[in-house]
């Protein structure tokens, strides 16, 4: 069992194994996404409608639970190991909330490892890298305002669909996918939405 079990950043958890020595923190996230579960038949599928365990979050959490079991069975002498289950990773809010939480400030680690899976590498292989491992993510939302018209009279309206298509094409041209180069970048349109199911109307 951990020596400390603490709640922080509202829905996060911090478990500390050991009572003395330098502290190493291993961090992963516990997140669900506002998306439909794509494998609802799996025993670990989300039980909440419209929420899915995607992007590897369930795998990350399972790895950390496995490490917790190992530490409970065989503690590391002279070391404290803290396991952080960080909330709200996808939204970018959880990390700052954890760091400024007084409980975390009281149990600040001497070093930290951020855990993430890597699809495609051999099962059981662990890779470690100093500093950042993946690029930072920055999102943006664009709003295009058109003008509603009857579908039989498109010249009376302004349909933003062509502009939306041009933005998607331009985004694909700005990508530099070679990770060996300093200007590596990805630009991914994640969602597009226009109008509604009103087949007789061109809605902005």
CA distances from 164 to 83, 126, 140, 146, 194 (A): 44, 41, 14, 11, 9
Query: How many whole angstroms separate alpha carbon 63 and alpha carbon 57?
Result: 10
pLDDT at residue 5 in the model? 93
The owner of tokens 């100093």 is 130
Q: Tell me the torsion sign for CA atoms 54, 45, 43, 113.
A: positive
Confidence of residue 109 (pLDDT cuts 50, 70, 90): very high
Indicate if the pLDDT at residue 110 is higher than 90: yes
Domain 4-114 adopts which CATH fold?
A: Aminopeptidase (3.40.630)
Mean pLDDT of 33-56: 83
pLDDT digits (tens, 9 = 90+) for 77-93: 999 999 999 998 877 78
The mean of the pLDDT values for the chain is 87
Residue 203 has pLDDT above 90, yes or no: no
- Pick the more confident residue, 51 or 134: 51
What is the rounded end-to-end Cα distance, in angstroms, of the chain? 57
Q: Where are the domains of the chain?
A: 4-114, 149-202
Distance of CA 150 to the CA centre of its chain: 41
**Cα Rg of the chain, angstroms:** 23
Would you list the DSSP string of 164-200?
A: HHHHHHHHHHT-B--TTSTT-B---------S-S-TT
């Amino acid at each position: 069992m951990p020596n400390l079990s603490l709640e922080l950043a509202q829905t996060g958890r911090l478990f500390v194994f050991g009572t003395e020595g330098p502290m190493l923190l291993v961090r992963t996230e516990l997140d669900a996404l506002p998306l439909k579960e794509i494998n609802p038949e799996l025993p670990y599928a989300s039980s909440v409608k419209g929420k899915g365990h995607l992007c590897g979050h369930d795998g990350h959490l399972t790895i950390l639970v496995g490490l917790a079991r190992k530490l409970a069975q065989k503690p590391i002498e002279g070391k404290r190991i803290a396991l952080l289950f960080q909330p709200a990773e996808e939204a970018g809010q959880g990390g700052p909330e954890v760091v400024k939480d007084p409980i975390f400030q009281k149990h600040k680690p001497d070093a930290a490892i951020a855990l993430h899976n890597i699809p495609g590498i051999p099962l059981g292989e662990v890779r470690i890298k100093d500093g950042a491992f993946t690029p930072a993510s920055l999102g943006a939302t664009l709003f295009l305002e058109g003008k509603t018209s009857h579908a039989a009279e498109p010249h009376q309206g302004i349909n933003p669909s062509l502009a939306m298509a041009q933005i998607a094409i331009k985004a694909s041209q700005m990508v530099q996918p070679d990770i060996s180069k300093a200007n590596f970048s990805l630009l991914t349109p994640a969602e597009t939405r226009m109008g509604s199911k009103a087949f007789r109307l061109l809605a902005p």
